[in-house]
Amino acid sequence: MFITFEGLDGSGKSTQTELLAEAIRGTGRDVVTTREPGGTPLGEHVRELLLNGDGISAWAEAALFAAARAELVDQVIAPALENEAVVICDRYLDSSLAYQGVARGLGVERVLQLNLPAIGDRLPDRTFLLEIDPVEAAQRVGGNRDRIEQEDEGFRREVAVAYRQLAETFPQRIEAVDGSRPPAEIAKEIFGRVRESL
């Protein structure tokens, strides 16, 4: 099974990735966790370019995220799924659809078409969208921000709206979760939803 977490920076994705991995490992299944951008040597280089550089054009940004994703699927995600592991990824395709497709204005469909060949059409089985107010999310991130986190509140609002629209467009795959609650409570709800399909 391939599970992804999505949401704004500060929505608690990384925490929930770890908590879900722990809970699934408790059932005896192998779990591989990974993150985007990054997760491979090439992906970590691309992450540096994307998050620390400045003045990247929107399509270059989208293409670099897609390149890191292609490598991650090829090197980590596909082999793990072939070995019957549960794969949990902190961000994936929907991040590009929301951030580059909508907030950068490139178009969801065009960014999807850029990414599908890169990921060999490998979509997640389930995606949990951690929803949180954009102002609260920014407060949680604090002062040490990367290039994309430095975008203004309007950008974050656009990303939040984009995610909500994606959840409405792909209701079979994307499940919205109230991310404003205590982490343990959110983790319990998500594991409850996943357990039956393990």
Residues forming contacts to ligand TYD in the complex (CB under 6 A) are 9, 35-37, 51, 65, 91, 95-96, 99-100, 146, 148-149
Shortest Cβ 26–ligand TYD spacing (Å)? 25
What's the first-to-final CA gap in the chain, in angstroms?
A: 8
Shortest Cβ 37–ligand TYD spacing (Å)? 5
Residue 26 or 117: the one with the smaller Cβ distance to ligand TYD is: 117
Residue 46 CB contacts under 8 Å (≥ 6 apart), including other chains? 37, 38, 64, 65, 67, 68
Residue 83 or 108: the one with the smaller Cβ distance to ligand TYD is: 108
Residue 32 or 39: the one with the smaller Cβ distance to ligand TYD is: 39
Q: CB-based burial of residue 141 (10 Å sphere; 0-12 exposed, 13-18 middle, 19+ buried)? A: middle
The residue whose Cβ lies closest to ligand TYD is: 99
* DSSP summary character for residue 83: T
Shortest Cβ 95–ligand TYD spacing (Å)? 3
Shortest Cβ 35–ligand TYD spacing (Å)? 6
Shortest Cβ 27–ligand TYD spacing (Å)? 27
Separation of alpha carbons 46 and 65, rounded Å = 8
Q: DSSP secondary structure string, 104-115?
A: T-S-HHHHHHHH
> CB–CB of 182/12 below 8 Å?
no
Residue 8 or 86: the one with the smaller Cβ distance to ligand TYD is: 8
